[in-house]
Structures are given as structure tokens and as C-alpha cells.
Structure 1
Amino acid sequence: MATLPQRIADEMGTRSALIQAWGRDGSVRLLHSNSYYSDEMLHHYVVEGFNRLDHWAEVLFHPDRLNKGVARSTEFISAEAHQKTDFYNEFFRRFGDDTGQCLGGGFSFPQDSALGIAVHRGIDEPEFDTNHVTRMQEIAGHVTRMMRARDQMHGARLHSELLEASLDNMGAAIVMLDASGKVNFANAKAHELDERSECISLAGGRVMLRSSRENQRLQAAIASRHRVGGSGDAFACCADRGQSWRIHVLPCQRGGVSGCMVIVENGDIPLDMGRRLQLLYGLSPAESRVAMGIAEGQSAAELASTLLVSPATVRTQIRHVFEKTQISKATQLSRLIASLPQVSAV
């Protein structure tokens, strides 16, 4: 299959074509050529400083010319004058090349300092006419649009790679689901749990909990994202090996498309969770101890015995906890504590 430069050269009826992009540091980021500038020529062009003698580059990339469309080199230097330059005699002729005419243009891009596109003819061949200029302008438009799309994809890829690396460095398992509930991303921790058969499974492109009862709750939370105002869920989960986990299901919607994120954290309640409840909801130390006991499934009588206070005192503290957290059931309190992220308290 013919390369893009070869197709351009064939279209224009020229001996060669060149597409080249330079980075902001002067490095060559992209170079496509069908015959012009062999690897050996390019080496001498850069290492021996012929790039500083290249008056065609000055024509294409001078600030007065950049992004102004294509032009013929003969508009700025005649073929006869070009033939007398060191660039022609010490560079082209050195490699047995008699390239003496150039038609092209230079364009700037956010990711590249400049992009050049050009076609070339021998010094004794007919000059490029207005038809060549018109057609080359059309081709340059197609190439610049292609380069813009390439840069956009490059930027998106870098952003995606950075995001994935950040998620992989997190201690929690994170799974992103699309609108159909299929997994479209799982970080390193999620794959680790799946491979070790702990808590979650990613088989068949779906995320499931290994406990059938708790998996029903997970699937219901995932399905809830389709409902107006669906809020997901957060709950504790016990795996087969006795390890406890906390599951968070967070609905996501962007561009009219719904999906969700499933986060799986170690289920051990941090030692400072009571302190977090005090900071977030204004609970007293005694009320936070009662709240933690309720979250662990203890009854009022059990709490009274453990804390060495009367059942009436515990009931009063429970009422205060419910009032301050604006909930009314022990199950809601357990869910609240399960939903708090495992971050260090300030």
C-alpha cells in the first residue's frame, strides 16, 4: 500500500513529498517521506548544520508565512539562485540529488511547534503552476485536519493514561460500568481481587460479589442508576474467608449516558471512625461510641452493659445520634458509617 507521501507525490506529479513535524524543543516528532531526505541525508541535515542553510524552511516557517497556506519556493528564490547556494551544492549535490523546486507550507499546532508539508521537483523541471498551488492547498487542508485529530487523540490518551495510573495507585478496587452495566475499566486492585477470588468477580465483563445474597444488593444498586434520583448504595460485605469489605455504588451520568462506579474497600472500620463522626456530625465522644456500637450490630442492652451505663442513657444517646445525623433507623446508621471513605481525619 502506498504511503501518504507517495500518494501526494503521485497526485501532484512530483518526484517526492514530505510531511514533517517539529516539537517545541526542535526535535523531529514526525517524518514521512517517500524518497526525499533519506536517513543518511537527514543525519547530515541535522548534525552538520545544513538545517541552518535551508532557505526553503525559512520560506515555509517564517512568522510571516506560517499558517498562510502553500507557496512556491520560486516566489522567494529562483531556481537559478537556489542552484548557486551552499544548501544545493553541498547538501543536495553531495548525495547526487538535483531537487531544485519546492511547493508547500508550514502550519503551527498546540502539540508541535510546526508542521511542514511539501512536494519537490528537479531543478530543470517545469515550475509549479497555479493548478498545482490550488491542489496542494486542498491536500494541506486534509493533512492539517488529520494532524489536529492526531494531537487531540494524543492528548486524550495521555489524560487517560494519567487517570488510570492514579486509580491503579489507590488501595481500593475501582470498577467503572457503562450504561449496560458492563465493565469498561477496572483498576489494578480490582483485577488483583478477581484473580485471588476475593470479594468480587469480573467474569464475563460484569462485576459481581461472591456472596450471592450481597450480590443481589449490589446488582440492585447498579440497576438503580437508571431511575430518576437513583442514589446507589453503600454497605458492608463479608467474603468467604471471613474478610470484611465495604461496597460503594456511585451512579455517574455524563452527556445523557448513565453508568456507575463500584468501589470496594477493606471493611475494617478505621480506629478513628468515631472521631470522624464527631467532626462531621457534632457527636459527643459518648454518642460516637454508641453510634459505632449500633453500626457493629449491638443492641441497646448490650451497649449499656459494655459501656457501664443505664439502658435509658443509651436510648437517649441513640436519639441524639439519630437527630444529629438526620436518620431514623439503625440500618441507616450502619449504611452511613459504611459509606464514609477511608481517609485520614483532619
Structure 2
Amino acid sequence: MTAPLILCIEDEPALCDDIAFDLRDAGYEVLTAADADQALTLLEGQRPDLILCDIVMPGMDGKALLAHLRQRRPDLDVVPFLFLTALTSRAQVIDGRIAGADDYLTKPIDYDLLRATVAARLGQVTRLRDAQPDGAGLAALDLLSLGVVLLGAEGSVVHANLSARKLAPLAGITLSGRVSGIGEDGRRLAALIDRLLTPGGDAEEALRLQAGAAVMVAGLRLRQDGPGGRARAMLVLRDPDRVAPMGDAMLGQLFGLTPTEARVASLLAEGLRRDQIAAQIGISQTTVAFHLRNIFGKTGAGRQAELVGLILSMPLVTGEV
């Protein structure tokens, strides 16, 4: 079983080292940051199970960092956030609670209390996840090499998995509150999301974004009881240069596709339009449509976006994305 990961943000080096040593001795994995900027950089590639944060720090203080995370990183809403502080007045504690802190630890640190508080908060999260299967499902999304972004009814980001948080900045995609992009890519992405969230609308094909790295985006509408409960749509992000696509042979074996059907399905997942697929394989668009009908029947996908999402969602993380 993997040890829980704790992020400790503390600008006093000696204290930070002592806290990290004590928590590692208790069996936890620990990341350390001297300020909010370092913490935000670490959070781009790591998802801790708990955050310890000093309130008074140079630059962005602890309360500002907490507000930033609550606004821009909804995927971290369930991660307990504990303040480390030498300020113990009742008003200051109330202010911190209002800001969204889950608990306080006062300086000088009582290390027995530190361990007990951390264990209690992590246990609380575990009980909540066990009681809500969706929570476990969302955590499992971090195993995918593909970026998965769950969207609420108004287009807000309900959850973004680890790969999505890595891929989005490379393609000029922002996941703060709502999904947005740069220039023409941003307009195409917004149109795709509108189709997903509009009753009767649809997302007919994957997008290839070019503002930054070449990232493929496929959109899927979810049932009312889909992953995350509040999620109404899903975006699947894939960098074709960093994640190897499933081969034609494997697709054929998995779904019983003919070699041509497997090739059509692969090209569709790469973002090619039907006319482009026809030109690349050397067949007519009518023949492409014929193969697609067969592919839909064999895979159980109801439409093009579902097929793309199905193909792209299969690879799991095998190394660093």
C-alpha cells in the first residue's frame, strides 16, 4: 500500500526539516516547499493527500494560497488543508476557518499532536471515499495516461486528473474554474464544450489543438449519474507525441475489427476527418462511412465522439506522462 503523501509548506528551513523528518518517521511520504510559488510548482505534477501550510510567508501567504487553490484547483477540494501558525487568537482561528482551512496546528509544534491530527484528517478522507464510490472512481482517473476533465452543468471543472493537469498547460489550456484556451483553439474548445452541455447538442469529432503542444481533445456527454456525481460532460486530452496510441492490431483483436476497420478507427482517434481518412487510406468517403457503421456496431459506441473516447481511454500510465 502506498504511503500517504503530505505537502509541507514552511519558510523556516529548520522547522520544515523537523516536520518532514517526523512525518517520514511516522511512515508518510513528504514533499517540502519554502513558499507558495514552490508549492504551486510541485502541485502541477503531484497530488498530495494532505497539505500543511504556514500562514505567514513571504509573497503569497497561506490564506491567499488556500483561496487560490479553492478557486483554481477544484480537484484538490477533498485534500485536507491544515494551517501551521504562531497566531492563536480566536479571531484569527475563525478567519482561517472561514477561508476554508480544515484544521490548525500551532507553533511551537507539538509533534504528537501533529501526528494525531494528520492521521485523523487522513482517516476522515478515507471514510468519506469509502462511503462515496465516486470518490474512489475519481482517484482512479489518476492512473490514466490520458487527461480527463469532468465538467459540471455550467461548464465548471468538477475534476481534472493528474495527466490533464500536466497536459493542459502544454497546449495553452487553462483549467481554473472553467476550461479555456488560446486564440482560435480557445474558440474551438469553447464551441465543443457548448455542444456537449446544450440539450440536443453533440460533439462530432476530436479537436487537434496547436497553440502549444499538439494535444487531441475528445468530448463526451455523461449521464446524470456519471462519474463525480455533478459531472455532465467529459473532455479527454491526449498528446500523440507522448502517449503511444493503441495499435491497429490490438484494436482489431479487442473489438473483432477487420484491418481496414481498425485503421479507420485509429485515424479517427488521431483527429482526422472522414475526408482525410479516405484520402490517407485511398478509399471513398462512402466506404469510410460504411466501415464506421461496422465499427460502431462492434464496439457498441453510439456516435463518433464515444468511439474516440473509448479508444483514447484505454492506455494506462506506464511511466512519466
TM-score class, shorter-chain normalisation, is 0.3 to 0.5
TM-score for the superposition, normalised by structure 1: 0.39
TM-score for the superposition, normalised by structure 2: 0.41
Larger of the two Rg values belongs to structure = 1
Q: Which one has a larger percent strand, Structure 1 or Structure 2?
A: 1
Q: 1 or 2 for the larger relative contact order (CA 8 Å, sep ≥6)?
A: 2
